[in-house]
Amino acid sequence: MKKPNNESVSTNKKRETFSSGLAVFFATLGSAVGLGNIWKFPYLVGENGGGAFVLIYFLSILLVGMPIMVSEFYIGRKSRSNAVSAFTKLKANPKWKIIGYFGVAAAFLIMFYYSAVAGWVYSYVFKAINGAFSNLSNFSFEQATSIVENQFLTTTESLYSPIIWQGISILVVALILIGGVKNGIERITKTLMPVLFILLIISCIRALTLPGAKAGFNFLFKIDFSKINPSVILSALGLAFFKLSLGMGTMITYGSYFTEDNNLIHTSAKVALSDTFVSLLAGVAIFPVVFTFGMKPNSGPSLLFNTIPLVFSHIPFGNILIIAFFILASIAATTASLSMAEVPIAFITEKWNIKRKYSVIIVSLSTFIVGALTVHPSSILGHVTIFGKNFFDLFDYISSNIILPVGGLLIAIFVGYFVNKDSVLDELSNNHKLNNSKTITIYYFVLKYISPLLLLIVFLNSLGII
């Protein structure tokens, strides 16, 4: 018989945890590493002046990303609960549960369109394996550009093709999540993250042998301080927060699966630095190619989907590299999707005390139905606009520009001002087994006085107020 509808109905059950610190690292890194590293980071670097943007991005990670990540880890492991019930477990005012509900809402909104982009990447893997890009080398650079833009980027071969691929991407994630924390999330991320690094390094090595390698490398790492302006700073701040999967309940949920001996601050630092390293490797793989073929680094969102097939088709063993690169991108999309879907799955499972596989089915079907109906140009509601935005852009705007920064701001305020400081000290020091009191002091200062201010600026900028 089902228990009453309360916030935590599964406290009598032993909760799954990750098996080791390495498993924790790969799972949380898998959450942070996504298409934002392979797709969004490079094109934003291209649009915002190269190395100057990278510098501001790194500072943003230190001042916003890591403090919020540590705070989410604290909430998750201290409560051992989902993103909503966590605040009940911490005996917080019920109003603070809005943070958890924001996370569940953001996870759904992002999955509606992120699964569509993931499906797009999956389709590129299939096209690359079938040799769809191999013939591009028979055309001039201008002709090949036109073919990529008109044939592949618009996916005109079938009105239903993007919807089918979105369904495939959701199905893959669902099959993994049904396995649970250890047999699903942990097993897959421990396997896929090393593969991702290997494929990315192979792509980098080949890119660095191209004639434009020096120009691409300099663009990515040479800091021109004249390029730094308010727009660059705000863009870097927003990306740093979004890239680490913060404000959407993922790190609270994953934190609830952490082992008791895990060093939360060290894990945060390793994940943030490794995630940044992956982003930089993606830049190293892309920008030498861009400069070798005289393309513009500020090509925007099409930089990945346009540039990679185009230029790799014109170099030896290019088709193999195309396959490797889009497999790499599909891995990133899959591991990030796992963490997003886990937020509502954990919430539904624990709130209504139902079996995990049914929660996975509910979340997966909801994501597919809403996504299939709204986010594609060929969808029934694909051409409907609200406030001048189609559903794809609307879901992205509401989640990225409103819910995530507000959620992050509330987390900083909650842990910084409303949680007993001794409780934070005990959890972050593993009950004083770790000698890290000075690090915790620095974290606490940044969380209380710097992170909230920067997040408020990001939020106001996203609304067009500043």
CATH number, domain with residue 450: 1.20.1740
Q: What pLDDT tens digit does each residue of the chain (466 aa) get?
A: 444 444 433 443 567 889 888 899 999 988 888 877 877 788 788 888 788 889 999 999 999 999 999 999 999 999 999 999 999 999 999 999 999 999 999 999 999 999 998 998 898 888 888 877 766 655 455 555 555 555 555 544 566 888 999 999 999 999 999 999 999 999 999 998 888 888 888 888 888 888 888 988 888 888 888 888 888 888 888 788 778 888 889 999 999 999 999 999 999 999 999 999 988 988 888 888 778 877 777 665 566 666 666 666 666 777 777 788 788 889 888 999 999 999 999 999 999 999 999 999 999 999 999 999 999 888 899 889 998 999 998 998 898 888 988 999 999 999 999 999 999 999 999 999 999 999 999 999 999 999 999 999 888 887 777 7
Contact 312, 231 (CB under 8 A): no
Long-range pairs, 385-388, Cβ under 8 A, ≥24:
none
Closest CA to 284 of 37, 61, 62: 37
Q: Distance between CA 128 and CA 132 in Å, rounded?
A: 6
**CA atoms of 461 and 63, how far apart (whole Å):** 18
Two tokens, residue 28: 């949380």
Give the max Cα distance, the chain: 68
Chain centre distance of CA 243: 5
Burial 247-258, CB ≥16 within 10 A → b, else e = bbbbbbbbbbbb
What letter does residue 314 receive in the DSSP assignment?
T
Structural domains of the chain, count: 1
| Residue 432 within a domain | yes
Of 384, 3, 392, 323, give the one whose Cα is nearest residue 166. 392
Model-level pTM? 0.88
Whether 15 maps to a domain, the answer reads no
Q: Residue 226: phi, psi to the nearest 5?
A: -70, -20
Domain of residue 236: give its range: 21-462
Exposed, middle or buried, 277 (CB in 10 Å: 0-12/13-18/19+)?
middle
- Residue 58, in any domain of the structure: yes
CA–CA dist 243, 61 (Å, integer): 9
Beta bridge partners of 389: 386
Residue at 196 is within a domain: yes
Asked if the structure places residue 12 within a domain, the reply is no
Residue 10 lies in a domain: no
Q: Which residue has the tokens 């609270």?
A: 252
Q: Which two tokens stand for residue 150?
A: 């008109």
